[in-house]
Chain A
Amino acid sequence: MQSNEPSGQAQEFPERSGKKRSVPHINIQEQGHRMTVGGPVQTGTTEWLKGTGEMCDVVMSSRARAARNLAGFPFPPAASSADRSQIMEICRRCIESLQHEKGTTVRWFDLRNSEPIDRRLLVERQLMSRQHARGRYSNGEGGPDSPRGLAVLEPHERVSILVNEEDHLRVQAIRAGLALQDCLDEINRFDDGIEEVVEYAFHPQFGYLTACPTNVGTGLRLSVMVHLPALKITGELEKVRNAAGDMGLAVRGLYGEGSQAAGEFYQISNQVTLGRSDEMLLREIEREVVPSIVRYEQHARAQLITENRPLLEDKVFRSLGILRGARLLKPDEALEHLGLVRLGVISKVIQDVSLVSIHELLLLIQPGHMQQILGKELSQSERRIARATLVRERLSLDSK
């Protein structure tokens, strides 16, 4: 999109009338880093499903996100629609002015005017939250037309910036494998770039201020997605859950908050954001907690292979049989069996399926992606047929 403002000029945002505002320094230089605006959303594989990186036999992906708010504006859930529009415009122009690496482009989605299918795809690709797609805040304000946006760094989709979610800005970075440090470095680059332009809401005691006090302090959430099928089989998963809980870490399902952990994919993330520095948090999760969970899972896998191979083979080949034969597949069912087949492929029990296929299917069996591939809207029963067909074809392709 072409900006309406003449390029090369500094833009001052006027003090708003009425209340005294403390937005002293919003001065955006247009530097010609244009964004691409609107769809299409990519549908091919994405960063978090690449299946590469450190400890990638167990760790699917790492993610970090920082919550930031502009000083002098109400938080989005309490802001008027006009305020949200103004905030969105400031943030959009600010993101537009950022430098980013060569070969990448920033795509901007104005979610007010976006197609529902685009919003769905963006959620399924983990580039934004469900709440952001709906536009409704947990206090009941907002709605589909609420001013909000999303910037995605393409083509690799490693960075996305949510504008006017619960906070003015949520900067997110994703990497395949265990790579929280890289995620954090990437976030800091964007965070520093944004801070060149705007002033953040910050409090000496509470740190970065956020709409919900559970996010204050660093405003940082680090999460790692792990695949723990062997611990499930050996019945030791509860120990991991308890241990994580004791360390103040949350354990969630594959598709984030409130989702079921089908397929034994789990997201482990910090809950505490105040009183612990970014480095401390990073050290704890990346060097201590996750490696020990990984070793635990690896140990359980090795044990299954050496001591209980028939059980392992039975489990994974049954699942493969279902995926290759089913004519109707529910989402959880598909996920459960894909999880076990992944275990079979990684332990080299299953030879004729590639990891790439499994990972792509994890993405493509979601409703939005199926709808996009088939080019039409699907009812629930149609989706079950389409899902089974997609999985069957993909897995038989591998065996040839």
Chain B
Amino acid sequence: MLCECQQRQATIHEVILQHGKKVERHLCEQCASQQGVSTDPHMPISQLISNYISGKNLSIPTVSDKETPKSQSPKPGSTPPCPTCSMTYSKFKDTGLLGCPSCYSSFQKRLSPLIARAHDGGEQHIGKVPRRALASLGRADGAGIESLIGGASEREQRLGQVRDKLNHAVAHEDYERAAMLRDEMTRLASLPTSYSTAQIESRLGATSPALEESS
């Protein structure tokens, strides 16, 4: 059977209730994802639980996503395709390959637990940072350079504080604040610990012309 677009085979078939009437739709994967029809309503129970426990995926997708009328934007929980390369999450699950660097942000909530499992619990990059990224981290705010210089123990301490605040925010369902705190944790944890002040200054100095050129 062909999709509504008359171009590809329909692989997603759904029956929805619209104004009390039964409507059948047959779509190919691309049209389905464009129209916000979830192609992956059956998230494994183990993942649901792990997401719930880790508090990463703050909204849990349900089968009722299927009843989302096409005119509405997809509910949080169904995963819209990556806006940069239109890769869908279900296609990623089939191939194990992402489409572009932005996919990591587009699918971040769902990828995080998956990645942590693949990396023996590793959730946060530690180690080499591209010089340009290092420079922009340093420039993002005034405290940036200070925390770059800060030693590992200081950083751990600060990470702990932010983590506590994050847990508190999640417990009180303050997701906006939680997201901010998560970003802050990410930023803190990504800072290298073994650079000396001089090294950082020389690194930042060395890369700044390039940054100015590009901005």
- Residues of A bordering B, CB below 8 Å: 19, 24-25, 27, 69, 71-75, 77-78, 137-139, 166, 188, 191-192, 195, 199-209, 211-214, 216-218, 220, 248, 271-280
Q: How far is the CA of A216 from the CA of B194 in the complex (A)?
A: 21
Q: How far is the CA of A166 from the CA of B98 in the complex (A)?
A: 10
The 3 A-B pairs at the shortest CB distance, nearest first, are namely A275-B122, A207-B125, A277-B127
Interface residue stretch chosen among B28-36, B61-69, B131-139, B172-180: B131-139
Query: By the criterion CB–CB under 8 Å, are B100 and A274 in contact?
Result: no
Query: By the criterion CB–CB under 8 Å, are A205 and B186 in contact?
Result: yes
Q: Told that A74-B99, A274-B119, A275-B124 touch, could you supply 9 new A-B pairs with CB distance under 8 A?
A: A25-B132, A74-B85, A75-B97, A139-B94, A205-B186, A206-B104, A211-B97, A211-B98, A212-B96
Query: By the criterion CB–CB under 8 Å, are A166 and B213 in contact?
Result: no
Q: How far is the CA of A25 from the CA of B209 in the complex (A)?
A: 11
Q: How far is the CA of A73 from the CA of B213 in the complex (A)?
A: 20
Q: Identify B101's interface contact among A192, A201, A273, A275, CB under 8 A.
A: A201
B9 within 8 A of A: no
Query: By the criterion CB–CB under 8 Å, are B84 and A206 in contact?
Result: no
Q: How far is the CA of A214 from the CA of B210 in the complex (A)?
A: 31
What is the 8 Å Cβ interface bit string for chain B, positions 93-116, against chain A (1 contact, 0 not)?
011111111001100100110111
B200 within 8 A of A: no
Q: How far is the CA of A9 from the CA of B54 in the complex (A)?
A: 52
Q: How far is the CA of A19 from the CA of B120 in the complex (A)?
A: 36
Q: Identify B130's interface contact among A202, A205, A277, CB under 8 A.
A: A202
Give chain A nearest CB distance to B160 CB in angstroms.
17
Q: How far is the CA of A40 from the CA of B40 in the complex (A)?
A: 50
Q: How many residues of B contact A (CB 8 A)?
A: 44
Q: How far is the CA of A139 from the CA of B88 in the complex (A)?
A: 14
Interface centre among A202, A204, A273, A277 (most CB of B within 10 A): A204
Q: Identify B118's interface contact among A27, A192, A214, CB under 8 A.
A: A214
Query: By the criterion CB–CB under 8 Å, are B115 and A216 in contact?
Result: yes
Query: By the criterion CB–CB under 8 Å, are A78 and B127 in contact?
Result: no
- Sample of 24 A–B contacts (CB below 8 Å): A24-B215, A69-B101, A75-B99, A77-B95, A137-B97, A166-B97, A191-B128, A192-B131, A204-B125, A204-B186, A205-B186, A206-B115, A208-B125, A211-B98, A213-B111, A216-B119, A216-B125, A217-B122, A218-B127, A218-B128, A220-B127, A276-B127, A277-B127, A278-B128
Give chain B nearest CB distance to A187 CB in angstroms.
10
Query: By the criterion CB–CB under 8 Å, are B132 and A78 in contact?
Result: no
Residue on A nearest B188 in the bound complex, by CB: A204
B147 within 8 A of A: no
Residues of A within 8 A of B97 (CB): 75, 77-78, 137-139, 166, 211-212
Residues of B within 8 A of A204 (CB): 125, 133, 137, 186-187, 190
Residue on A nearest B121 in the bound complex, by CB: A275
B214 within 8 A of A: yes
Q: How far is the CA of A45 from the CA of B84 in the complex (A)?
A: 46
Give chain A nearest CB distance to B144 CB in angstroms.
12
Give chain A nearest CB distance to B120 CB in angstroms.
5
Q: A272-B120, A272-B122 are in contact. Are A278 and B127 (CB under 8 A)?
A: yes
Q: How far is the CA of A19 from the CA of B124 in the complex (A)?
A: 30
Query: By the criterion CB–CB under 8 Å, are B125 and A206 in contact?
Result: yes
B123 within 8 A of A: yes
Query: By the criterion CB–CB under 8 Å, are A138 and B96 in contact?
Result: yes
Q: How far is the CA of A279 from the CA of B104 in the complex (A)?
A: 25
Q: How far is the CA of A216 from the CA of B115 in the complex (A)?
A: 9
Residues of B within 8 A of A202 (CB): 129-130, 133
Interface centre among B127, B133, B190 (most CB of A within 10 A): B127
Residue on B nearest A77 in the bound complex, by CB: B97
Residues of A within 8 A of B116 (CB): 274
B148 within 8 A of A: no
B87 within 8 A of A: yes
Give chain A nearest CB distance to B214 CB in angstroms.
4
